[in-house]
Amino acid sequence: MTTDREAYFDAYQEYSKVLRTWFVVYGIGGPVLLFTNDTFAKTVKASGEGKNLAALFLAGVGLQVILAALNKFSMWGIYFGEFKNEFKATRRHKLCHWFSEQFWVDFVVDVLTLALFAVATWRGYRILVT
């Protein structure tokens, strides 16, 4: 039988996966649309903003990749501690455990990613409609 705690975590986990997937797809799809469509590409190139737009999208995706790597390493450290009890006494395990409890890191990175994508989207939109 599933407890409320497990149900809440399952929902959190699903939303987290969806958001990360959306961020990466949007961060890659935005530049692909802007730079592979001839009309868009010419307009963006003429504006002189192409490098800035690409940098904003790349920074957003980069933040998500870094966060995923940090979370992966953190979870591995906690997992490894379950098999090697002596590892639990190391600084690495304590750091992994500490990081795994820092929800604010995920929140800040997600907000920064959203802000980078919003700025890139707004700038791209302004270029395309003017």
Q: Quote the domain boundaries for residue 62.
A: 4-129
Mean of pLDDT over the chain: 93
Interval 50-102: pLDDT, tens = 899 999 999 999 999 999 999 999 999 999 999 999 999 999 999 999 999 99
The fraction of the chain above a pLDDT of 90, given in percent, is 74
Token readout for 10 is 């399952």
Please tell me which residue, 1 or 48, carries the higher pLDDT value: 48
Is residue 63 within 8 Å of residue 112, measured between CB atoms?
yes
Q: Is the whole-model pTM more than 0.75?
A: yes
The pLDDT of residue 2: 73
> In the chain, how many domains are there?
1
Q: Residue 104: is its pLDDT beyond 90?
A: yes
Alpha carbon distance 118, 123 (integer Å):
8
What percent of the residues of the chain are helix, what percent strand, and what percent coil, each to the nearest 5?
A: 90, 0, 10
